[in-house]
Chains A and B, each alone.
Chain A
Amino acid sequence: MSSPIYNVPLALAADYPGQRLVVRTDDPAALVARWPTPPVDWLCVQLVGLPDRVAPLIHWGRGLAIDIVLADPVADYARLYRYAKLIDNHPVRVSLPVVEGIDKAVRLAASLHFAVKLEPGQPSAISELAEILDLYLHQATTPQPIDYFHEVLLGWLHDSPVELWTVLDEDPTGFRHVAEDGGERFPPRLAGASGDPEDFVRRWQEMLIETGAECQDCAYRDVCGGYFKWPNPDYDCAGVKQLFATLRAAADELRSDLARYATTPGSHHDR
């Protein structure tokens, strides 16, 4: 089993040599000054607090992923333009919580060719998510992935479903959050969780089954894995199930289209 990925503050990055790191900072200039060349083990730089000046990052660390945390997508979405130039040299992703009114942030991120990571939690903004899902599935000018939709779709398309815990970097087995004081914590959404992080997800899933949660008979258990039942097991999954159904149907349709295309005269496969 590979070692976990650590999300560490910039000040502590040097304490994790040889580890796969997501280095978070609100000060790009300090990052570049401290690490003129990013170590090969770094997976990503996570920008928090929407720093104004990102020019130091534009030509630094070519190819290193950058994750922009958009904590208030409704108020701050237009500020994403200040990061537009990063895409020249970095894969860029915007991580944002699912709240009412996030569609503008998602549209803008997608139009800037940023990938999007929706952090759904236990969402109430289902209609908004449905609109974003439609954007992801059908708008030709949305070239980058919108997760979790993208990974779930691909997983079903290729018959290799991936759990949301992994897609959303929240499985403590694979992802550890290091606080400013150096303490290792569960990923932020799992604040309040306890026990061995290595088997948190398994224990959670077992608990849901044992307590008779609707997960028992859920058609999407292979992907959800009880994700939407944390922290409140009584969360009504009807809305997110509908989204899963749409994704499943899209995967089936895509698989069927691909199979039909492969046998169509004139296709690249028909040679």
Chain B
Amino acid sequence: MTGNHFSLILLSTNRCNADCDYCFENKTRDRLTLEQLDVIVDKVLTYMEEQGIASLTLHWQGGEAMLLSPDWYAQAHERIGTAAAARGKTVSHGLQSNMLLYGPQWKELIAGMFGNTVSTSVDYPNRHRRLRHRSPDSYNGIWSEKVAMARADGIDVKAISVLNQGTLEIGAERFYHHLVDELGVTDFQVNTPFPGGEANAAKDGLPLPVDELARFHCELADIWLERGYREGVRVGPFDELLNVFTHRDACLPCIWGQNCADEIVSIDARGYVGQCDCWVTSYPEYYFGNIFESTSFGELLGNSRPRRDFYERPVRLMEQDCIRCEFLSICHGGCPVRTYTVHKTLFEKDPYCGLYKSLFAHMRDAATRLLRPQPSGIELV
């Protein structure tokens, strides 16, 4: 059992140094002060005491988290650690960053606070990630340089890659070759885009065509199984789906879970509380409340009508065809934000349902092949 744990996505700042076309966030100039952080941590720890939760993971994001200094985070780390220890709680930290501001001044902080690991994003081809008024190519150049620097400093850099129409056009082989062989990214996850936040031309074509996405995912999975699986390359969600279908413990991405409302919550730099970073800056109609305006974080969560919609979502989806799906135990109707941004309601299934079904069936079949004894002695890793 896994569950004496609470996960919080904390936006230390809503400000960003990038200007990506498909960003779902409503970026403001707000940033947390250490005093505000103390208030948040105090209320979250109280909530954990009330619920009997022993441990917390803070997923630091933005905007761009590195817009606050390493010294700010070092002080935050100390203050959080002291507060948690006083209450018998343990806290771990994760960092998500575009890495554009990485430099040697971050090395010690990342090692000490973030387990020497950073998660970043890389798209291929990059059509949408950019600095303000500059091209995606210039973004690529800076990103590559910074990531190389971080790796040279011994930092484990993991990546999320958001697919775009260009990715589907170049195909899985070129995509895999670029990320793994050319960039040396050997631990990454592919994500599907959604038209979150303010509308613009880049989001007009979303969601991407399900059949093309399905073909891309299945081809990419096959390439990974053939060339990366036994070489220690990790590609999400394929690796965890393989764990599911080979009956091992699995940690599936948040889009596939019984109910993400049970697993995670997000607080932005203004103190607004939302389901996750996809929601907390952009959808006021789904704010759960403001932690600075509430005396109790537990009451804020418990009394939130918008949050009840997230709890109600899977219940309502079971009145539709999800209940008959053989993959219900994996998917549970998919991602609320992907649903909301397309259907303008929480109470429909994920628009990428067709992709998920194709991919699940594909990985199930791959797992079946792997589980068969091989004469040559090739085994499940």
Contact = CB atoms under 8 A, between A and B. Distances in A.
A264 B371 CA distance: 13
A225 B326 CA distance: 34
Contacts of A261: 373
14 contacts: A58-B51, A59-B4, A59-B53, A77-B318, A78-B314, A85-B258, A88-B3, A90-B1, A108-B318, A108-B323, A111-B329, A141-B326, A265-B373, A266-B374
Given A78-B314, A266-B377, 4 more contacts: A78-B316, A88-B2, A88-B3, A111-B332
Nearest to A265: B375
Contacts of B247: 143
Contacts, number: 84
Interface string A46-86: 00000000010011101100000000000001110110110
A101 to B, nearest CB: 12
B316 to A, nearest CB: 8
6 closest A-B pairs by CB: A88-B3, A59-B52, A111-B329, A266-B373, A84-B258, A111-B328
Interface string B172-197: 00000000000000000000000000
Interface of B: 1-4, 51-53, 244-245, 247, 258-259, 262, 311, 314-316, 318-319, 323-324, 326-330, 332, 364, 373-377
A85 B264 CA distance: 12
B349 to A, nearest CB: 14
A211 interface: no
Interface in A83-121: 84-85, 87-90, 104, 107-108, 110-113
Task: Decide if the interface of chain B is mainly helix, strand, loop or mixed.
Answer: loop
A122 interface: no
B3 A266 contact: no
A270 B316 CA distance: 50
Contacts of B364: 140
Contacts of A85: 3, 258-259, 262
A66 to B, nearest CB: 12
A163 B131 CA distance: 70
A19 interface: no
Contacts of B245: 140
A150 to B, nearest CB: 15
Contacts of A111: 328-329, 332
B301 to A, nearest CB: 10
Contact of A107 (B315, B323, B376, B377): B323
A139 interface: yes
Contacts of A140: 245, 364
A63 B3 CA distance: 11
Counting chain B CB atoms within 10 Å of each CB, the highest count among A78, A108, A111, A139 belongs to A111
A205 interface: no
A63 B327 contact: no
A267 interface: yes
